[in-house]
Structure 1
Amino acid sequence: MYGMLLESVQYFVQKEYGDEVWSDILRISECKYTVFNTHQVYPDHIMADLAGALESITTMSHNDYMTFFGKCFVRFFSNYGYDNTIKGTGRHFTDFLENVDNIHIRFRLSYPKMKSPSMYLTEVDENGCILVYRSTRQGFTHYLMGQLHEIAKNIFKLKLEIKVLETRISEANGKKIIIVTFRLNFENGHYMKMKTEKESHLETSPLSPFSCDVLLRLFPFGILFNSAMMIIGCGEKIIEVAGKRGKQKLLLQPITKYFKLRRPKGISFTWKNTFYLKSVMFEIELLRIEFLKENSLKCPGKKESSEDEREIEIDGKSISPYSLRRDSQPGFKNILLKGQMYYLKDIDAIIFLCSPVINDINELPDLGLYLNDLNQHGLSKEMVLAGWQHHSKLELMFDKAEQRSTELENNHALLDTWKRRGDDLLYSMIPRSVADRLRSGDSPLSTCQTFDSVTIMFCELVGFNSTTVEDAMELVSTMNAVFSCFDSLMDRFDVYKVETVGQIYMAVSGAPEKSDSHACHICDVSLCMVKHVDQLQIPSGTKVGVRIGIHSGPAVSGVVGIKMPRYCFFGDTVNTASRMQSTSTTGMIHISATTKNLLPDGKYRFSDRGSVQLKGKGEMETFWLFDNEIQ
């Protein structure tokens, strides 16, 4: 949604509740925007989040605040003069309701990315009307109700009552559309009186009925179709565009075969939509390639694969449909028709009274048209000569720009997704704090840190041998199951997994984030690892065990390497912890006296193992660690 809608919310919330409440709801809704720009596009959920935040600190409901926001927008857009546009739609509130879609089309030049809803009336009487609202946005029903209340009250001086009759969700063009049917109760007697007078005037008119052919001669690009969406009549210029036997091609054919609905946007080309949106300006694109396909010739020596790939003969030359879609062939460009749908009650059909949209006289050859093909009445020829039909061309340009913008937004979203996956992969290799420093431009050497005291743990999987390919595959599967289980335990105990090398799992606590309880954290996670391995169900059914060694002391850490860089630890503490693991036994946790002295009394049980000969260290006093709950 555009920022103007959120600007109105901010202005009136600050006016009604104060700046402090506005700051509170921004914080509660976790909205990262503090100022909204009129022409900037923001996520749709922001408005609902603001309403939810207001609900949490006041007594009103979420729906009440969405209604309030709708009223705020109507009050706010009067500052831009948009209330005059509404007043100019007609004398009555019903006139405005019938022309809402036309107003949205008018505003698309200023707000090209606007995803406007569609509205039409199905029943009108002296007490009001039934309004059908269609939108791709969900959760804005009460917002619309607030807008209608405020427009009826302040612009048309009416008291309006709104009742929701039905809410349903359908799907069109791969998008979910919410459809809400409202009953609007208001004083509509003046509109009905005017409508009755018009109808009575037509009934008493001395004019006699005339043939539809007269309309089709007046509108040479007009199209007549019935409730089954079958073409039952065409203007002479449409028949000429269709080529040989044009009339036979078009009559009793589905209109959607040769014509594509471009506007109103977001609706399907159906009888119901064209009937109820009679007051809305329609734009339909004549698909010229469909006419040319029917005269296509199979190229000699070329295997025919499908209708879309079949080449078309134009002036004795074979042209591919792809070339036509690029509008590269003069005289065969699609024609955009713009006009109004008019219902003919006597024959239960709709006629599309339209004219081609032409930018200037230089475009006529590309369309295969001439000035004398245009309507003899009205200003069609004069507008082409003067180049006045820029409005529709600008809309087409905006459509293309909007499509490119949507593609760009999708690419940005995809980029964010892959960036997040890349971050997750990077943070699994290097601590977040270190990775962020490297991203900011720091050299790898600057990430080196010295820690006065950390606790390092080595854990080895034991209990199987890999002598064959099958054994190796079983080993990989088992290691994946066990190490994935260990990974899930690390964050619970504030322990950082350093690496796995073969069947060895290395972890540290107290680095890179310093902690005074690093020895406790390593011991706690080691006890859990022993328990989980005993309880873990290995897919292959292999029974495995672990032997763990732990030592505490100073260490140095840093990122090493260019390809596949790793966050590594160096120092005598690492070597000693590795020796503690290699001299441990299956199912046991082997800790040094240094680590034991860092553990609180009473939390763990120890068993003195005595002096143990460690390679490169000589004899050291070591202990077995047990959970205090184990008897």
Structure 2
Amino acid sequence: MYGMLLESVQHFVRLEYGEDVWQKTLTMADCKFSVFNTHQTYPDSTMSSLASALASITNQTADDTMMFFGRCFVRFFSNFGYDVTIKATGRYFADFLNSIDNIHSQFRISYPKMKSPSMYLTDIDKGGCVLMYRSTRSGLTHYVMGQLMQIAKDFFDLELETNVIESNEKVSTEGKQLIIVKLRLNFDNTQYMATKKEAKANEIKCDLPPFECSLLRQLFPFTVLLDSTLTIKGIGEKLAEVAGGKEKLVGQPFTKYFKLRTPKGISLKWNSLYYLKSVTFEIEFLRSELMKSNMKSLQTPEEREKDDLTTREIEIDGKSISPYALRRDSQPGLRNILLKGQMMYLSDAERIIYFCSPVINDISELPDQGLYLNDLNSHGLSKEMVLAGWQSSSRLRLMFDKAEQRASELENNYALLNVWKRRGDDLLYSMLPKPVADCLRAGNNPLDTCKSFDLITVMFCELVGFNSSTAEDAMELVSTMNAVFSCFDSLMDKFNVYKVETVGQIYMAVCGAPNKNDNHASNITDVSLEMVRHVRQLQIPSGKKVDVRIGIHSGPVVAGVVGIKLPRYCFFGDTVNTASRMQSTSEPGMVHLSETTRNYLPTGRYILTSRGTVKLKGKGDMRAYWVFENIYHDEDDEEEEEEKTNEK
């Protein structure tokens, strides 16, 4: 669908619900487009996804949301002057409903890729009418209902009530899924019915003497006359010339050499043509099928059995034509002709006559279709339209090319913008925790991020095993630290631990802040044991063996964003100092933790060895423990232990 439909949704959702709701809708709908271009096409599923997302946010049904989107589109296109077309269709709402397909046909000039539905009326009375809606798109029935309700209110001052009588699906002749919906439209239609009744009562009958059918064929050179079985009873002069003689078509079934293009989903039957008198029909004259039939008619019965018309060339109008060429619409002089016009019922003759003219987009198409300017209807302004289109086509083509180029550039720029936005988010979230970064992005004061935590666990890890006395040693140290710390970074998300910073050879991490976690002590212990195990197995580029010593402590802290350039989320308090002292008094390859942290670890999960009393600088004597992984620990035992803890 074109971006104009989605533009209307974006405009009115922002207007009625606010920018925050719209951004949330885009996120929930997983829509990669933040801005919609009027003449750019987008996936049909975009509208349904936005409707479902907005419905869940506003606690409405998806059908009501789609009706709201339909109303938005009518209110939106009125700002661009398209309301003039609707106001000019007729005096009454029923006149507009009869002309919807014709309006869509006119808009195809500005929107050539538009896949418009087909709508027509079957019953009209004082209380409203019955509308048949056919479309190859599913899920847009309530969207159309919303459009009709808004048009009736804004342009005809009517209160419209819509009800779905019947809805089903079938496969069209083109093999596409076709949605067919029968709608009952209830509105005050008394004036329209009274006008029709009065016009019929005052109808002036003028009896004319019979005239030759050849006159009709001259006035309308591409007309087709059909009987109740849809057998061709007469054709226009120029259509006969193109076909190679009227005897080629007269007496043949209409569906044999003519294919319906619009309205969509309608089968070529007498009732369909009779009821759709006000709808513009586009029917394709299949010249290639006619030529194939001519080729078969020139063969003897023996040749028809042996020849499948795939190898033998024949001569048409003095030209040798291959049967393969007949399958190509671009073959000069043999291209199918698109006819556009109206079906009219002749009550006296009980015939339907198709008044039509060929659709010529450019003067260069005439030779491909085997037509000339003097073949076109003189009194129908067909010649003038073709010539006017030829004079302005080059300028229009240049304008469309520029518009498409700009649309493509804009789409690429938005895609690039999303890429850089994701990169910026990744960089920001690597510097600050996501909740804190989102808080700052929303414009909050950095002091608002300052928060106290009653209980978290802090871990310090120091890389030991070598000194850097020369430049080569320093480069080796950097390479080794990068390998080790990159390995540590990969473990943080696995155990729900937040890496705070690295200072020199020291690696700091916490659990329980900024996102609270009841398992902070066990998570930090698990990741510490993994760090010890991984660093022993890690292949260092220099080939040297390195080790770590780790200290852990639990307690209250205060955390917040510090700094303007390269801001960091820092932790303050005695807990941080104690954890640092536990690390400095630890030993290589060991995980050293305080008695406070030990009290928050589940029993049976780890092997704890008392180290006795350790003297810490500024803290005095503290009981400390070495912790090891319990390789015999059973997960079932852990679950039982957690249940006992919860009961207590």
Q: Give the TM interval when normalised to the shorter protein.
A: 0.5 to 0.7
Between the two proteins, the alignment pairs up a number of residues equal to 466
Q: For residue 132 of structure 2, give the secondary structure of its aligned residue in structure 1.
A: strand
1:533-568 CA-to-partner distances (Å, cap 9, x unmatched) read xxxxxxxxxxxxxxxxx997141389xxxxxxxxxx
Q: 1:600 to 1:339 in 2, by over 3 A?
A: same
Q: For residue 170 of structure 1, give the secondary structure of its aligned residue in structure 2.
A: strand
Q: Which residue of 1 aligns with 2:484?
A: 451
1:8-42 CA-to-partner distances (Å, cap 9, x unmatched) read 22222222233333333333333333333322323
**Does the CA contact (< 8 Å) of 2:604 and 2:633 recur in 1?**
no
Task: Give the CA deviation at 1:126.
Answer: 1.9
Q: 1:292 to 1:63 in 2, by over 3 A?
A: closer
Q: Which residue of 2 aligns with 1:151?
A: 151
Task: Give the CA deviation at 1:187.
Answer: 1.8
Q: Which residue of 1 aligns with 2:598?
A: none
Task: Give the CA deviation at 1:309.
Answer: 5.2
Q: 1:626 to 1:64 in 2, by over 3 A?
A: same
Alignment of 1:306 onto 2:308 = yes
Q: Which residue of 1 aligns with 2:176?
A: 175
Alignment of 1:295 onto 2:328 = no
Q: Which residue of 2 aligns with 1:341?
A: 343
Identity of aligned residues (%): 55
Q: For residue 27 of structure 2, give the secondary structure of its aligned residue in structure 1.
A: helix
Q: Which residue of 2 aligns with 1:504?
A: none
Following the alignment from structure 1 to structure 2, what is the Cα–Cα distance between the partners of residues 382 and 75? 36
Q: Which residue of 2 aligns with 1:255?
A: 254
Question: Could you list the runs of 5+ residues in structure 2 that have no partner in the other structure?
Answer: 413-429, 431-478, 496-522, 547-588, 594-600, 608-628, 638-648
**Does the CA contact (< 8 Å) of 1:293 and 1:312 recur in 2?**
no
Following the alignment from structure 1 to structure 2, what is the Cα–Cα distance between the partners of residues 344 and 595? 101
1:440-461 CA-to-partner distances (Å, cap 9, x unmatched) read xxxxxx9996237979xxxxxx
Following the alignment from structure 2 to structure 1, what is the Cα–Cα distance between the partners of residues 367 and 54? 60
Deviating more after overlay: 144-153 vs 48-57: 48-57
TM-score scaled by length of structure 1:
0.61
**Does the CA contact (< 8 Å) of 2:132 and 2:183 recur in 1?**
yes
CA RMSD of aligned residues (A): 5.0
Q: Which residue of 2 aligns with 1:280?
A: 279
Following the alignment from structure 1 to structure 2, what is the Cα–Cα distance between the partners of residues 557 and 236? 91
TM-score scaled by length of structure 2:
0.59
Q: 1:340 to 1:629 in 2, by over 3 A?
A: closer
Q: Which residue of 1 aligns with 2:121?
A: 121
1:94-130 CA-to-partner distances (Å, cap 9, x unmatched) read 1111111111111122222222211110111222111
Q: 1:136 to 1:391 in 2, by over 3 A?
A: farther
Following the alignment from structure 1 to structure 2, what is the Cα–Cα distance between the partners of residues 570 and 310? 79
Following the alignment from structure 2 to structure 1, what is the Cα–Cα distance between the partners of residues 90 and 77? 19
Q: Which residue of 2 aligns with 1:436?
A: none
Q: Which residue of 2 aligns with 1:162?
A: 162
Q: 1:603 to 1:275 in 2, by over 3 A?
A: farther
Following the alignment from structure 2 to structure 1, what is the Cα–Cα distance between the partners of residues 133 and 233? 31
Q: 1:77 to 1:382 in 2, by over 3 A?
A: closer
The one-letter code of the counterpart of 1:332 is L
The one-letter code of the counterpart of 2:285 is L
- Within 5 A, what are the aligned runs for 1:326-405? 326=328, 330-358=332-360, 364-370=366-372, 372-375=374-377, 377-381=379-383, 383=385, 387-388=387-388
Following the alignment from structure 2 to structure 1, what is the Cα–Cα distance between the partners of residues 119 and 334? 35
Task: Give the CA deviation at 1:334.
Answer: 3.1
Following the alignment from structure 1 to structure 2, what is the Cα–Cα distance between the partners of residues 140 and 84? 24
Task: Give the CA deviation at 1:88.
Answer: 0.7
1:492-515 CA-to-partner distances (Å, cap 9, x unmatched) read 999xxxxxxxxxxxxxxxxxxx99
Q: Which residue of 1 aligns with 2:93?
A: 93
Q: 1:624 to 1:54 in 2, by over 3 A?
A: closer
Task: Give the CA deviation at 1:89.
Answer: 0.7
**Does the CA contact (< 8 Å) of 2:291 and 2:326 recur in 1?**
no
1:592-623 CA-to-partner distances (Å, cap 9, x unmatched) read xx999999983489xxxxxxxxxxxxxxxxx9
Task: Give the CA deviation at 1:185.
Answer: 1.5
Q: Which residue of 2 aligns with 1:419?
A: none
Following the alignment from structure 1 to structure 2, what is the Cα–Cα distance between the partners of residues 629 and 85? 73
1:569-593 CA-to-partner distances (Å, cap 9, x unmatched) read 99999xxxxxxxxxxxxxxxxxxxx
Task: Give the CA deviation at 1:183.
Answer: 1.0
1:389-423 CA-to-partner distances (Å, cap 9, x unmatched) read 669999xx99x99xx99xx9xxx9xxxxxxxxxxx
Task: Give the CA deviation at 1:325.
Answer: 4.7
Q: Which residue of 1 aligns with 2:237?
A: 236
Following the alignment from structure 1 to structure 2, what is the Cα–Cα distance between the partners of residues 205 and 171? 46
Q: Which residue of 1 aligns with 2:137?
A: 137
Q: Which residue of 1 aligns with 2:440?
A: none
Q: For residue 156 of structure 2, give the secondary structure of its aligned residue in structure 1.
A: coil
Alignment of 1:556 onto 2:539 = yes
Task: Give the CA deviation at 1:221.
Answer: 1.5
Q: 1:19 to 1:201 in 2, by over 3 A?
A: same
The one-letter code of the counterpart of 1:162 is T
Following the alignment from structure 2 to structure 1, what is the Cα–Cα distance between the partners of residues 345 and 590? 90
Following the alignment from structure 1 to structure 2, what is the Cα–Cα distance between the partners of residues 359 and 103? 18
Following the alignment from structure 1 to structure 2, what is the Cα–Cα distance between the partners of residues 302 and 232? 29
The one-letter code of the counterpart of 2:127 is N
Following the alignment from structure 1 to structure 2, what is the Cα–Cα distance between the partners of residues 603 and 272? 82
**Does the CA contact (< 8 Å) of 1:261 and 1:283 recur in 2?**
yes
Q: 1:213 to 1:329 in 2, by over 3 A?
A: same
Q: For residue 73 of structure 2, give the secondary structure of its aligned residue in structure 1.
A: helix
Q: Which residue of 2 aligns with 1:545?
A: none
Following the alignment from structure 1 to structure 2, what is the Cα–Cα distance between the partners of residues 270 and 521? 77
**Does the CA contact (< 8 Å) of 2:292 and 2:326 recur in 1?**
no
The one-letter code of the counterpart of 1:451 is V
Following the alignment from structure 2 to structure 1, what is the Cα–Cα distance between the partners of residues 605 and 45? 50
Q: 1:308 to 1:95 in 2, by over 3 A?
A: farther
Alignment of 1:184 onto 2:185 = yes
Following the alignment from structure 2 to structure 1, what is the Cα–Cα distance between the partners of residues 543 and 253? 77
Q: Which residue of 2 aligns with 1:43?
A: 43
Task: Give the CA deviation at 1:90.
Answer: 0.9
Q: 1:322 to 1:520 in 2, by over 3 A?
A: farther
Task: Give the CA deviation at 1:520.
Answer: 8.0
- Within 5 A, what are the aligned runs for 1:518-533? none
Q: For residue 101 of structure 1, give the secondary structure of its aligned residue in structure 2.
A: helix
Task: Give the CA deviation at 1:288.
Answer: 2.0
Deviating more after overlay: 231-240 vs 101-110: 231-240
Following the alignment from structure 1 to structure 2, what is the Cα–Cα distance between the partners of residues 370 and 325? 23
Following the alignment from structure 2 to structure 1, what is the Cα–Cα distance between the partners of residues 250 and 635? 89
The one-letter code of the counterpart of 2:539 is V
Q: Which residue of 1 aligns with 2:322?
A: 320
**Does the CA contact (< 8 Å) of 1:295 and 1:313 recur in 2?**
no
**Does the CA contact (< 8 Å) of 1:519 and 1:552 recur in 2?**
no
Q: 1:302 to 1:133 in 2, by over 3 A?
A: closer
Q: For residue 39 of structure 2, give the secondary structure of its aligned residue in structure 1.
A: coil
Q: Which residue of 1 aligns with 2:10?
A: 10
